């Protein structure tokens, strides 16, 4: 790959829209959920799917239930997506996601969390 092509690929990668979000890993056997906020929602979903396919729990808090009920007892539930604004720093974006996660925690207060 020549330098110009490489520079263009790097530039387009850096300029792509970044979509984070709030999601829950739900244990359908118990109803408990792990609520998380991440900068890369697609990557988080891929991580979860990989963990399920390999039976390797990627979330420490779920470990005991993962072994007890198996990976099939869990599902990925997207609650809300948020696109990073061009002027936002990564830290500001993560702060917004954390606030969003707290709002979801309040909305879901009647659920049992890990």
Alpha carbon 86 to chain centroid, angstroms: 21
Question: For 4, phi and psi rounded to 5 degrees?
Answer: -65, -45
Q: What is the reported pTM?
A: 0.86
Instruction: Answer for the pair 52, 73: CB distance below 8 angstroms, yes or no.
Output: no
Question: 71-111: per-residue pLDDT in tens?
Answer: 999 999 999 999 999 999 999 999 999 999 999 999 999 99
Task: Name the residue among 112, 110, 100, 106 with its Cα closest to residue 23.
Answer: 100
Question: 5-60: per-residue pLDDT in tens?
Answer: 887 777 777 777 899 999 999 999 999 999 999 999 999 999 999 999 999 999 99
Instruction: Answer for the pair 84, 19: CB distance below 8 angstroms, yes or no.
Output: yes
């Amino acid at each position: 790959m020549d330098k110009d092509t490489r520079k263009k690929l790097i530039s387009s990668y850096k300029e792509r829209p970044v979509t984070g979000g709030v999601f829950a890993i739900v244990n359908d056997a118990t109803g408990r959920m792990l609520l998380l906020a991440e900068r890369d929602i697609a990557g988080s979903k891929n991580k979860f799917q990989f963990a399920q396919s390999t039976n390797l729990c990627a979330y420490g808090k779920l470990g005991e239930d993962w072994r007890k009920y198996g990976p099939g007892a869990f599902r990925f539930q997207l609650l809300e997506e948020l696109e990073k604004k061009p002027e936002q720093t990564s830290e500001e974006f993560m702060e917004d996601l954390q606030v969003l996660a707290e709002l979801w925690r309040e909305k879901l207060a009647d659920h049992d969390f890990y």
